[in-house]
Structure 1
């Protein structure tokens, strides 16, 4: 049988990459491309990261790279990983490894020069593909090429044992299924279902990172449905009780051409109230900005004037509300078009301008400013001449009959 080779790809021509691989002994068979770059090239999709595997130990890798004038950073020496810093971007080089011990979260490794042994410790067959940097010759020890052709995500070896080694592989199984798979591998699915409670031992940061990546994968809806049916979320996100809202949101995104967004899709998946959304955001260690956005997405419907909503809560959150709540397709499209390319204006008026009109300094100024702002929004952000007219009328009324602290417009809805 003819030797299969890696197709030509732009990333293989990156400046400095050939010098890097030659320094690491590509001509002697001492290094190979591995993992995502090989997999994604075979699938014809863009490559994000380049990883190298090498029989050289980390000290030898660093010595060779420095001798070749390539900057190197020891990013993970305990696991045999260093990062070569090229002008075209970083490339990780990792010494071949085998697991000595694992506890479901961390692994102790020993270095090896056996390519098959290194491949055996990787999670899925489609991630254990290697390619010669010079010739592109492919090396496949566990049927990864056949699985890739069949769009099948399959554990290397016994799935239960692989999950026991690293519990995160449960979520990785579903994430890779959502990105690359057509149907779940039955043995892998059964193992993930049986060991779902192992997820409780993981840090919430690791769970968050995998979940957010999964939610924007092409097959997210189908895979989330599968996870719900098999109780995968129950140990760590029991609030996820269904996938229908996520499916509707994804359909709306496609209708308007919105870029898939993990926080918006998480809000759809949770379908909860703001207080609960904040608690979940804290549990998943979301950033403060992400938690606030998750709360706003859960705080109300997307009805009303889209630009008014965007002014109140920000464009991103207004888009979230629209995509999560609007069921009428023409209304959704029209509302989305109002937001695309629209620069959110600022009220062309200050409290000082109201004082100059004769309003006494104090809380009445803030209340008058709010009333002016409410009318300005209701009139769809007219120009400064109209704002001046509104201000004159509000100030005149305030001087004649002071504004009650409770007189804010019912349409305000500040959040």
Structure 2
């Protein structure tokens, strides 16, 4: 049975624990057993050693979200899983700053990522967290920010100052002895979506981070919904109300990548917007970013690219020309074939394919299983073994056009 989060944090909130944690370098799984033994031989208690090694592992994982800040922060497993990346939190904070809001209540602050970003813009932050262990972590994490105060309390019971904005990142996971489990019902979140709507109805500037899989029908009216992807992964949908919502924008896809950030927006409701034409698989095939798909902006993108959908229900776009876009990955169409395993086996053999990347949309085919069938000796991971394997790399896109299943040979651009 795993230890409770407080058992992994409390030993660190001592001089011995903090100094020992600071003395460790980046966590390495292959050295953890030896390090555990050496720390115990040095006289440190098993509880402290366990807490320090757990925290070292979480800090190393957290660098993907927090960069070098992670080395001085405290984390819980559930808190890190839900925590906002700092580059995204900075964009949240900018909304409040641009609206002229000087005090924000961060209700359900978790580990304090968004509170850190707000405080760095000289916005006074009251960070509220109901879980005692998480509140302790947030207190440590916010020590460098004099504009931030942590309150251990239920988010729904805190008195709000007149004119204060509100940021919420409701708890969407429960922690058990076997790990964390995601909650899907917005009314089971802590605090629930109805509480968020009540704050917005009172005229407050409100932003709330929700899971990216939120259905369109669950998005409240009168707000801006912004889906965010980072490095190709859709991380959240943020709902913005009142002063922090942009006029004329109902839904948006913010795409953050190595080349910077770009945003596709629409003022139309989720059941409205343009209709893209449907046409053949030809020219260049575009695979829209997940944020574009979640925001229901595939048709908008197709028209921007001068292209068409391959099927009205599937998020693949084709266009005659190659257009540089941050909103989709482009492939050159080489060949369109009916989906037939025997014929595809022959195609793989004739083309000397040894490494096969398989993408799919609109079909129940499992890429890993198909790869095993097409590549003799393959274990499904993308690389073939055995004498029959060739050296050529190929990409297949499996999709449906009407009732017909097709396999499209493409090459990444």
TM-score (norm 2): 0.32
TM-score (norm 1): 0.32
**Higher normalized helix content (fraction of residues):** 1
Larger Rg: 1
